[in-house]
Structure 1
């Protein structure tokens, strides 16, 4: 059942030499899978700049491009984190929240994060979006410390975990070349149409 979450893919391209090398670097000397998973998480959270926080181009989607350019939206950062974990034999999935773009109410957008399968804890959600004032995600299993809490009835954690990114996400990241264009067209999905597994 875990094999889809260990496989490479178009966007989780951990067989790319850049990703494979970084995965090996992060694994060096790690005593156990929790230490290794934390290293991967902290690298993506802290060393890859969130596109909007830094208003930084180019728009990235594939894990290898995120690593090469050092930047990405939350979705792209989750692709890189999944790739680094899978390259090290740790099952990793993609998952999503639906959040208000503003303080409350419409418009809404998806937010991308990860789930990692740890032998001692099972599936554990982590969010390497990148910390800033008001956002403080962390890795401390089994307690979840995500970037964003669900604040209102109209926000939600979308059900399921996904081996590959949702098409509604990759379509936007691959269609627009500028960070501002992506921000003006953030992906969204009506909860009733969201796949539980993909």
Structure 2
């Protein structure tokens, strides 16, 4: 499934995903290869903001530029997975820090609790981070 941000049907996304997974025997192996590819792309906020400022916000844009930060990497990871038939979605991160509150007061009022609390749309999906490794 393709969306405006996660354009899994884009030719570059499809070609890249297909090139990453030849001979992969399972979804786990496909996800692993895609994960390592996205993880190993440079994490560059400034470069990403430059192309985002030009309206280049799709997973294919991040892939074409070869650099991204967390949201671009997440979009790219999900798009690449979907392009090879692996169901994937983005889930917002949860943070846990007893010394510092990361959520704005408005967000805490809306969702309640501290930042480590899972958000209502979290399910049994297993979180991985294409940024941290």
Query: Which residue is equivalent to 1:97?
Result: 93
Find the partner of 1:51 among 44, 48, 57.
Answer: 44
- Number of matched pairs: 110
Structure with more strand by fraction: 1
| Paired position in structure 2 for 1:25 | 19
Q: Note the 1:119-198 alignment, pairs <5 A.
A: 123-129=125-131, 131=132, 137=133
1:82·1:93 contact (CA, 8 Å) conserved in 2? yes
Q: Which residue of 2 aligns with 1:74?
A: 70
SS in 1 for 2:91: strand
Distance in 2 (alpha carbons) for counterparts of 1:97 and 1:31 = 30
Instruction: Render the CA deviation track for 1:135-188: whole Å, top value 9, x for unaligned.
Output: xx3xxxxxxxxxxxxxxxxxxxxxxxxxxxxxxxxxxxxxxxxxxxxxxxxxxx
Aligned equivalent of 2:111: none
**Equivalent residue for 1:63?**
59
More helix by share: 2
Task: Show the counterpart of 1:158.
Answer: none
**1:90 Cα deviation after fit:** 0.7
Q: Offset at 1:13?
A: 0.4
Structure 1 residue ranges, 4+ long, deviating more than 6 angstroms after superposition? none
Provide TM-score, normalisation by structure 1.
0.49
SS of structure 1 residue aligned to 2:89 = strand
User: Is this contact kept in 2: 1:51–1:59, CA < 8 A?
Assistant: no
